[in-house]
Amino acid sequence: GQQLNQSPQSMFIQEGEDVSMNCTSSSIFNTWLWYKQDPGEGPVLLIALYKAGELTSNGRLTAQFGITRKDSFLNISASIPSDVGIYFCAGSTDSWGKFQFGAGTQVVVTP
């Protein structure tokens, strides 16, 4: 089946640093979504991407839909303690909204 690889698995960063993570797929996607999940809660949608090359920001978060349509990137600038959590990518190829999810990147921010 389709493989969606997300890296890194975890990151330990200092407050104020920038964070980058990415997802790659063996298949071409039409849509990429990025989520954040806090402990004991459901994932919260951060950014949605619909076109190859698209670059979209949401506050300090910026995500890009890769030109090849097989990858996507999420950057967090000037991290703060509340950025702690697990970030997931999700990609879809079909018109029914069926998404593949990455395994997540755990971000830990130290003061």
Partner 1 sequence: ETGVTQTPRHLVMGMTNKKSLKCEQHLGHNAMYWYKQSAKKPLELMFVYNFKEQTENNSVPSRFSPECPNSSHLFLHLHTLQPEDSALYLCASSAGLAGSYEQYFGPGTRLTVT
Interface residues with partner 1 (CB under 8 A)?
A: 4, 31, 33, 35, 40-45, 48, 88, 90, 92, 95-104
Could you tell me which of 86, 82, 75 has the C-alpha nearest to residue 10? 86
* Minimum separation from the CB atom of position 26 to partner 1 (A): 14
Indicate the residue type of 78: A
* Minimum separation from the CB atom of position 61 to partner 1 (A): 15
Indicate the residue type of 81: P
Indicate the residue type of 97: G
* Minimum separation from the CB atom of position 78 to partner 1 (A): 26
Residue 51 Cα distances to 31, 54, 63, angstroms:
7, 5, 12
* Closer of 59 and 98 to partner 1 (Cβ): 98
* Closer of 98 and 111 to partner 1 (Cβ): 98
